[in-house]
A = this chain, B = another copy of it.
Amino acid sequence: MKAIILWIAIITCGVRADQYYYTKKYIDVPLDHYSYTSNLTFKLKYLVNDTYHTDRGPIFFYTGNEGPIDTFAQNSGFINDISPDFNALIVFAEHRYYGESLPFGNKSFSSPQYLGYLSSEQALADFVYLINELQKTYSPSGTKGKLPVIAFGGSYGGMLSAWLRMKYPASIVGAIASSAPIWQFQDLVPCDNFYRITTTVYNVVGGSTCVDNIARSWKDIKRLARNDTGKANITKILSLCKPLKTDGDITDLISYLSEIYINLAMVNYPYPTNFLAPLPAHPIREFCSRLNKPYKNDVEMLSMIGSAIGVYTNFTGTTKCNDIGDPDGPIDADGWNFQSCTEMIMPMCSKDNDMFENYSWDFKTYSDTCFKNYQVRPRSEEIPILKYGGKDIKSASNIVFSNGLMDPWSGGGVLSNVSSTVVVIIIPDGAHHIDLRGHNNLDPDTVKIARQFHVRHIQKWLYAYKLDNSMNRPTVWSV
């Protein structure tokens, strides 16, 4: 049984060359928006770029994910690219309990008493609260009516964008939800979708030999690790920071490798990027080029894998060793782990037809692990469906769901139109929310088309808003 791996959370900042300019700001928001046992507030961080904002231009509002907001601001250039044409104010809001937005400082993760206010619904209410303040602050004085807001988000941030529109449609006029696996809950989709799609990506991009090597390797690694010599060999050839010692270390190693393979699929972009890690263009192609022949023995297997993972762990050439105990890097994995144990319960399993170790979904075991680690249990597997409606989202409106079919998370996404206003754009060769990234000359046409699709819907929503609200003077966007 693998450890609970919380894929979305694995965001390492690495070396970042900031490309987009933002002013850092903070707003006091209520700790608890839904109950009144306490009147505490805390400082929520957000980033603002008002360079392009003129007249009554809209607010483009990124609903922050499970990590420091700066990472997302630097990796969602699409919003920046289109803002001048809309005269938009750009805001990236951090999600509570991530980055600097810690309600109880360094005590925030110490127990459910402090950590318990971390939930998607509280985060949505933070966003509503912040949006309201922004609308008051940035409306030109003397004008009436609220500035319209478009929400953007990728991955969990995309789920939040979609949910924000569903739950608070008066706060935003529409949402661009990119790679948002809002159906990765209970039995809404097969639990093996994620690993199966990941395997498909490797097959298509890296070739079947690469996949076969990975599929074979688990058994060999575990056999090798049975004795101390084998453990030492693995430690050495994979450049691990700490020597493998216990069975738990082996489990951690397997999780570590699995995460790397998955992350590579998520960020298999056609140009060099620095989102989950500094990476070359087409990283899986590069990765699999180092695993492109059947290995003959354990040493060869380890050497090839060691070389291949270097694409992810050491593209800059500055990594001294690989730390399997800290796969999440500088991120507060405790935050997402806690969310996964309370509301974001995403069943995952791995079967024979994928390249990962078999892994069955067992809610009881999952719940026990949650209790051991965080003193909470998911109340039931159906909680997220009760909260957000599961597949019954036809009464929502003004949401674009975009999914790259080469993204492991697309298996939990909305892949066909739900209604005339809850619509889908597919990027057949796209990885994880590539459409939210800034323009790149190497973008495939499918990504360009998706971005045009987004722009057209944003125009439509804003135009409808303009018609619905008698404004003092003509707005600047046009359709």
Q: Which of A119-174 contact B (CB under 8 A)?
A: 119, 121-122, 128-129, 132, 167-171
Residue A427 lies at the interface, judged by CB distance under 8 Å to chain B: no
Asked if B392 and A121 make an inter-chain contact with CB atoms under 8 angstroms apart, the answer reads no
Binds B, one of A28-36, A87-95, A360-368, A433-441: A28-36
A387-415 CB mask vs B (1 if < 8 Å, else 0) is 01110111111100000000000000000
Q: How far is the CA of A377 from the CA of B39 in the complex (A)?
A: 9
Q: Report B-chain residues with C-beta under 8 Å of the C-beta of A39.
A: 376-377, 379
Binds B, one of A110-118, A283-291, A325-333, A347-355: A110-118
Residue A38 lies at the interface, judged by CB distance under 8 Å to chain B: yes
Question: Given A167-B167, A168-B389, A169-B389, A121 and B379 touching (CB < 8 A)?
Answer: no
Asked if B468 and A112 make an inter-chain contact with CB atoms under 8 angstroms apart, the answer reads no
Q: Report B-chain residues with C-beta under 8 Å of the C-beta of A397.
A: 395
**A63 → B minimal CB distance (Å):** 16
Residue A212 lies at the interface, judged by CB distance under 8 Å to chain B: no
Q: Report B-chain residues with C-beta under 8 Å of the C-beta of A393.
A: 170
Partner of A386, one of B38, B113, B121, B129: B129
Residue A323 lies at the interface, judged by CB distance under 8 Å to chain B: no
Residue A37 lies at the interface, judged by CB distance under 8 Å to chain B: yes
Asked if A395 and B392 make an inter-chain contact with CB atoms under 8 angstroms apart, the answer reads no
Q: How far is the CA of A167 from the CA of B167 in the complex (A)?
A: 5
**A103 → B minimal CB distance (Å):** 11
Q: How far is the CA of A129 from the CA of B383 in the complex (A)?
A: 9
Question: Given A386-B132, A395-B397, A342 and B36 touching (CB < 8 A)?
Answer: yes
Q: Report B-chain residues with C-beta under 8 Å of the C-beta of A118.
A: 36
Residue A382 lies at the interface, judged by CB distance under 8 Å to chain B: yes
Query: Closest B-chain residue to A116, C-beta based?
Result: B37
Q: Report B-chain residues with C-beta under 8 Å of the C-beta of A132.
A: 382, 386
Partner of A35, one of B119, B377, B392, B394: B119
Q: How far is the CA of A379 from the CA of B128 in the complex (A)?
A: 14
**A393 → B minimal CB distance (Å):** 7
Q: Report B-chain residues with C-beta under 8 Å of the C-beta of A119.
A: 34-36
Q: How far is the CA of A174 from the CA of B34 in the complex (A)?
A: 24
Query: Closest B-chain residue to A380, C-beta based?
Result: B132
Question: Given A30-B379, A128-B386, A112 and B169 touching (CB < 8 A)?
Answer: no
Number of interface residues of A (CB under 8 A): 47
Asked if B30 and A32 make an inter-chain contact with CB atoms under 8 angstroms apart, the answer reads no
Q: Report B-chain residues with C-beta under 8 Å of the C-beta of A390.
A: 170
Asked if A376 and B34 make an inter-chain contact with CB atoms under 8 angstroms apart, the answer reads no
Asked if A392 and B169 make an inter-chain contact with CB atoms under 8 angstroms apart, the answer reads yes
Q: Report B-chain residues with C-beta under 8 Å of the C-beta of A117.
A: 35-37
Q: How far is the CA of A129 from the CA of B39 in the complex (A)?
A: 27
Query: Closest B-chain residue to A339, C-beta based?
Result: B36
Q: How far is the CA of A202 from the CA of B171 in the complex (A)?
A: 40
Question: Given A386-B171, A392-B169, A34 and B34 touching (CB < 8 A)?
Answer: yes
Q: How far is the CA of A37 from the CA of B97 in the complex (A)?
A: 14
Q: Report B-chain residues with C-beta under 8 Å of the C-beta of A116.
A: 35-38
Asked if B34 and A35 make an inter-chain contact with CB atoms under 8 angstroms apart, the answer reads yes
Q: Report B-chain residues with C-beta under 8 Å of the C-beta of A32.
A: 34-35
Q: How far is the CA of A253 from the CA of B129 in the complex (A)?
A: 40
Q: How far is the CA of A108 from the CA of B180 in the complex (A)?
A: 40
Q: How far is the CA of A169 from the CA of B163 in the complex (A)?
A: 12
Q: Report B-chain residues with C-beta under 8 Å of the C-beta of A129.
A: 386
Partner of A112, one of B37, B122, B128, B386: B37
Q: Which of A31-69 contact B (CB under 8 A)?
A: 32-39
Query: Closest B-chain residue to A31, C-beta based?
Result: B35
**A461 → B minimal CB distance (Å):** 11
Asked if A35 and B386 make an inter-chain contact with CB atoms under 8 angstroms apart, the answer reads no
* 20 more A-B residue pairs beyond the given contacts A38-B116, A169-B392, with a C-beta to C-beta distance below 8 A: A30-B379, A35-B35, A35-B117, A35-B119, A36-B117, A36-B118, A36-B119, A36-B376, A37-B113, A37-B116, A37-B117, A129-B386, A132-B386, A167-B167, A169-B395, A170-B388, A170-B390, A170-B392, A170-B395, A171-B389
Chain A residues near B (Cβ < 8 Å): 30, 32-39, 112-119, 121-122, 128-129, 132, 167-171, 338, 342-343, 376-377, 379, 382, 385-386, 388-390, 392-398, 468
